[in-house]
Amino acid sequence: MLVIENDNFGKHNPHWKFTLGPESYETKDTPRRVEVIKAALQADAGFEFVKARSFPERNLSRLHPYHDYIKTVSEGLTNPEEEVYPDLVPGEGARLRKRIHPLWGGIYCTDAVTPLSKYTYEVARGSAQAAMTGASLLRQGKEREVYALCRPSGHHAGPRVFGGYCYFNNVATAADMLSRAGRVSVLDIDYHHGNGTQEFFQERKDIFTCSIHGDPNDEYPYFWGYAEERGVGQAVGANLNLPLPIGSGNDAYLGAVDRAAEAIRGYAPDFLIIAAGFDTHADDPIGGFAVTTETYADVGASLAALDLPTLICQEGGYNTDVLGQCVLAFLQGFGRQRGR
């Protein structure tokens, strides 16, 4: 399987830490996530690594209204250790007056865990380019399955705001590119709901979105991801959410994967994009499921059986002791089902 990578992933290394009541939180999105995935895949002869291509800025800027904001703030910093925390969108129903920064011109971020530093724009753009490179190869018929080793993740970045460690939506950018060549299905298997991806396409019936995730009654992103969210207007029925309760294990997770696969078959897309997060693992520090490492091979095989040109984009997964083996199991299961 072809693996698309960027060498600049290590330049974005947030160091935030804060306390909330009796608990202390610090970022789990470190460069080591990519390092352990690469090490696991490089030890297997079945993977070939290639560099991401460069794409024009307009591929990102036309979808993300905050593109120029992220670029201006990031490239305007001189100290690589400095982190800027954007003004935040008030909580839904908060009825707070918005304060617009006179220079940066907007409020685009949903939380205080997605800071901007000197290299954030460069690295976030590189992550999206990995996904776009994979999409381009599928669209040209040069590859049947591709894994894009994206970091930072993207599925919480939407058409209005970014957040949740995500700056640009890698999957949405790739899906928009592939939609010019046929119908697209996006399946998000990360522990957290792909709210940004859903919002990008909730009014489009040519892109079917599906997400398996922790119940938003209890888990981030809270305001999105409920089962009744099925799409808007002409696209009603083109979105499927499969929230699961905290503590869900292998059987419940595999059952949701089967339901998602059945829905994708019914939609009959020309391309499949998998937003592959592994914070569903039992030992993940910010997840709440109990999925075991070996189960990801079954997940990969189930999705490979859809027999579609497939782009797999890396999303979450924050226990670096197990992450590499989780990704390897998923990709090996996917490849074995395809006979590769």
Measure the CA angle with vertex 46, ends 44 and 47; round to 5°.
85
Lookup result for tokens 């859809």: 306
- Contact 3/50 with Cβ under 8 angstroms? yes
105: amino acid identity, one letter:
G
Strand partners, 311: 146, 273
Question: Residue 160 burial by CB count (10 A; 0-12/13-18/19+): exposed, middle or buried?
Answer: middle
102 CB-contact burial (10 Å; exposed 0-12 / middle 13-18 / buried 19+): exposed
Q: What pLDDT is recorded for position 103?
A: 46
The beta-carbon contacts of 100-109 under 8 Å, at least 24 apart in sequence, are: 104/69, 104/72, 104/73, 105/69, 106/65, 106/66, 106/69, 108/65, 108/66, 108/69, 108/160, 108/161, 108/162, 109/161, 109/162, 109/163
Q: Is 156 a catalytic residue?
A: yes
Q: Name the catalytic one among 12, 67, 156, 213.
A: 156
Residue 140 backbone phi and psi in degrees, to 5: -80, -5
This prediction has a pTM of: 0.94
Listed in order, strand segments (DSSP E) in 157-298 are: 184-188, 207-214, 239-244, 271-276
Query: Is the domain defined by 2-54+126-337 classed in CATH 3.40.800.20?
Result: yes
How many CB atoms lie under 10 A from the CB of residue 174?
32
CA distance 331 to 336: 9
What are the 10-residue block averages of pLDDT along the chain, 340 residues in total? Answer: 92 81 79 96 94 96 94 93 81 52 63 92 97 97 96 95 95 97 97 96 95 94 89 91 97 98 97 98 96 98 97 97 98 83
The 10s digit of each residue's pLDDT in 162-193 is 999 999 999 999 999 999 999 999 999 999 99
Buried residues in 310-331 as b, exposed as e (16+ CB within 10 A) = bbbbbbbbbbbebbbbbbbbbb
- Count of CA atoms in the C-beta half-sphere (13 A) of 192: 26
Q: What is the pLDDT of residues 201-240, one digit of tens each?
A: 999 999 999 999 999 999 988 888 999 999 889 989 999 9
Helices 120-139 and 170-178: crossing angle in degrees, nearest 10, is: 30
State the alpha helices, DSSP H only, in the chain.
Answer: 32-42, 58-61, 67-76, 120-139, 170-178, 195-201, 250-267, 295-304, 323-337
Query: How much is the pLDDT for 102?
Result: 44
Q: Domain segments of the chain: what residues?
A: 2-54+126-337
Instruction: List Cβ neighbours of 182 (8 Å cut-off, separation of 6 or more).
Output: 269, 270, 271
Dist CA 46 CA 82 (whole Å)? 40
